[in-house]
Amino acid sequence: MQPTFISHNQVRSFIAKQSFPEESEWPSLLYCLQGQQFNTNLSPEQRTAFADLLAATLHRKKCTTALLRDVFKEKEAILNIPYVKELQSALAETASVLDRFRSISQRRLGDVAHLEKTTLSTVMSGKDPRAMVSELRKAFKAVVEAMEEDSKILEELSVTDQLTGLANRRFFDEYLAQAINETSHKDAVALILLDIDQFKEFNDQYGHLVGDEVLSIVGKIIRETVSACNSKEHKNYLSARYGGEEFAVIMPDCNEEQCLLLAELIRERIEHYPIVIRDNQGNILKKDIQITVSGGYCLMPRKWLTAKQPSEQLIAAADNALYTAKKRGKNMICQCKPYLDQHKKLTQVVL
């Protein structure tokens, strides 16, 4: 269901009926919540949350001091949604890397112990010194090469989402900033955001294990589609897990047609992928389950290159298009297209 936004007149009417004392903080808080519904600096999720909070508050019969404190807390929680998500994502990634690092460290402890034993037995063998040096070099070389390989693995782990195999949010942020800084004069940087439709309901119905499997499948489809595109067109597009059930594709040096074609190709492949649910023994419980994604994309205009935070503007524009795709019925791709209005002001329209 789409949220129902509360109008300024509805809030004013409610306040008039309540007869708040002059020093009450309620009127300013309610008007603040009403305004946040339309704050374009917030994500669609936050604006919807403010609409829901305001609607719930207006249905209360009494606006008590205790309720005022609760609404203030909820307001702050909604404003902190993006930071909480980033923190949760960072903690999950850190835990995964630490687990792998612990496993590698334990394995290398065994290798070092074996090297120590090999060194001791070689020295005590009484062999020709040149033969001993050759054996010791081989033993040390094997351990050094294994450690170098471990270093590569850990470096890859630090930029990879472990569930989907896509780039993680940290690397997404770095790559987008780099792509914007290296933008050519010919083509623009584009961003596609994709979100699995009704994923919460799917998770509630089938459980988080099945939900994780779906995230893995969607990630694999996106990764393989983008990789094939890179190989065919000699591009350097990056696919990433943006957070939760949301995914992203960064497209340096591309045009509008290329962006739309890739977004639609990903959407169609996910739509036609048959999801099968199995039990622990591998028996099929349900098959041919359809999942879909909604998407939004935006090509960054040149004027944003001089902005203070061009990455955030591009993300917000793509997110706005994604939100519109959800609102219009899901399983579709929308474009947020910036343009100069009659007052030479950069404005956005979602197509």
Residue ranges in 254-309 assigned as alpha helix (H): 256-271
- Marked catalytic residue, from 22, 135, 245, 268: 245
The CATH number that applies at residue 273 is 3.30.70.270
- Give domain status of residue 227, yes or no: yes
Of 157, 185, 210, which closes a domain?
157
> What local confidence, expressed as pLDDT, does residue 157 receive?
60
| Same domain for 285 and 192 | yes
| Same domain for 248 and 101 | no
Sign of CA dihedral 108, 109, 114, 120: positive
Q: List per-block mean pLDDT (blocks of 10 residues) for the chain, which spans 351 residues.
A: 74 85 86 86 83 88 86 88 70 60 56 54 59 60 59 64 87 90 74 93 83 91 94 92 92 91 95 83 80 93 77 89 90 80 50 53
| Same domain for 317 and 255 | yes
Going from the C-alpha of 53 to that of each of 3, 26, 56, 87, the distances in angstroms are: 11, 14, 5, 24
| Same domain for 286 and 137 | no
- Give domain status of residue 162, yes or no: no
| Same domain for 131 and 46 | no
Of 157, 185, 201, which closes a domain?
157
- With tokens 């590698």, the residue in question is 104
Could you tell me where the beta strands, DSSP code E, fall in 42-173?
A: none
| Same domain for 277 and 238 | yes
> What local confidence, expressed as pLDDT, does residue 344 receive?
44
Write the DSSP symbol of residue 300.
P
Q: Containing domain of residue 144, as a range?
A: 83-157
Model pTM score: 0.61
| Same domain for 316 and 196 | yes
| Same domain for 250 and 132 | no
Instruction: Characterize the bridge pairing of strands 346-350 and 333-340.
Output: antiparallel
Q: Terminus-to-terminus CA distance in the chain, angstroms?
A: 21
Question: Has 245 been annotated as catalytic?
Answer: yes
Of 102, 123, 157, which closes a domain?
157
Write the DSSP symbol of residue 276.
E
d(CA 325, CA 194): 10
CA dihedral angle for residue 81, residue 85, residue 87, residue 89, rounded to 10 degrees: 180
> What local confidence, expressed as pLDDT, does residue 269 receive?
96
| Same domain for 101 and 16 | no
